A = this chain, B = another copy of it.
Amino acid sequence: MRSKLAFIGLGVMGSPMAINLLQSSYTVVGWNRTPNRPLVEKAAQAGVQIFPTIADAVKDADFIFICVSDVEDVKAVIFGEGGIADNAKSNALIVDFSTIGTTAARDISAQLQPRNLRFMDAPVSGGDIGAQKGTLTIMVGGDKADFDQCLPLLQTMGKKIVYCGTVGNGQAVKLCNQVLCAVHMVALCEAMQVAEQLDLDPNLMIEVCSSGAAGSWALSNLGAKIAESDFAPGFMIKHILKDLRLVQESLADTDINLPGVKLSDRLFKIVQDMGGSEQGTQAMIRAYKESSM
């Protein structure tokens, strides 16, 4: 029987990633918790065979990719009844693209080892656009030999595929990435507030500051959105809040102090409480403008 790849979770990220995976020479099959979704149908039309159960999807798979929302979802598809752990064939390589923090990734790996299942954490950045274009950054933690074996498959989905070391290290790099994104948003919102108070054209400020030592991706890409009160996501506030929670959980055993992360967390939560949880992270400006903070 021909080898196959299974993709668990065909949502806004997983569906286009599974479609890009069809570029490999393998068969790609998939499963989604809610099967009747346009993104699942899109994957099916592209050639991903959709199965009604995880067990059917993974039973012949050499590689099993997971792309779901949060820690509990990942644990459910792996360890839940009828899940991957009970149905995957021996020595299958499970690659989890979800952002779940270092602790969960290492726990899952440790639990899979005695069952002869291999695990790599491989969180991504680049958003739905990156998933569609196959230009994601993929941060991989796990065994180097497993990484090398999987690399050609990852290259169908991402442009920058980085081996970060032992299992959990992909998560660790992703958490650093999210710390930077969250606190850069504080910087951007405050610069926008100063510009407004001093009667500056915000786009002039953005253009000038982008070119030098004050430059950031956030300034160049999200500053103009703030100026226009365009809060469409991009990356949703509920997702950055999840990631900041994972930062705090992953560092729970340490006495590290992260006041910038705490501040950004507080500001995002203010916007969440205003009903902005599905707005883009740039909606942090609402905490400055619509609350007394």
Contact = CB atoms under 8 A, between A and B. Distances in A.
A275 interface: no
Contact of A200 (B164, B181, B235): B164
Contacts of A219: 180
B164 A197 contact: no
A102 B198 contact: yes
Interface string A153-195: 0000000101011001100110111111111101111110111
A263 B261 contact: no
Contact of A164 (B125, B179, B182, B208): B208
Contacts of A193: 256, 258
A212 B177 contact: yes
A187 B250 CA distance: 18
A211 B160 contact: yes
Interface secondary structure of A, over-half rule: helix
Nearest to A213: B217
Nearest to A258: B190
A104 B258 CA distance: 35
Interface in A204-237: 204-205, 207-209, 211-219, 221, 235
Interface of A: 102, 125-127, 137, 139, 160, 162, 164-165, 168-169, 172-173, 175-184, 186-191, 193-195, 197-201, 204-205, 207-209, 211-219, 221, 235, 247, 250-251, 254, 256-261, 263, 267, 288, 292-293
Contacts of A181: 213-214
A139 to B, nearest CB: 6
Contacts of A198: 102, 168-169, 172, 175-176, 250-251
Contacts of A172: 194-195, 198-200, 205
A250 B183 CA distance: 24
Contacts of A183: 183-184, 186-187, 190, 260
A292 to B, nearest CB: 8
Given A164-B208, A184-B216, A197-B251, 18 more contacts: A126-B213, A137-B211, A160-B211, A162-B204, A165-B200, A173-B205, A175-B194, A177-B209, A179-B187, A180-B187, A180-B219, A183-B187, A184-B187, A189-B260, A190-B260, A213-B221, A214-B217, A260-B260
A122 B104 CA distance: 53
B208 A139 contact: yes
Given A187-B183, A194-B247, A194-B251, A257 B176 contact: no
Residue of A200, A214, A258 with most chain B CB atoms under a 10 A cut-off: A214
Nearest to A137: B212
Contacts of A125: 212-214
A158 to B, nearest CB: 11
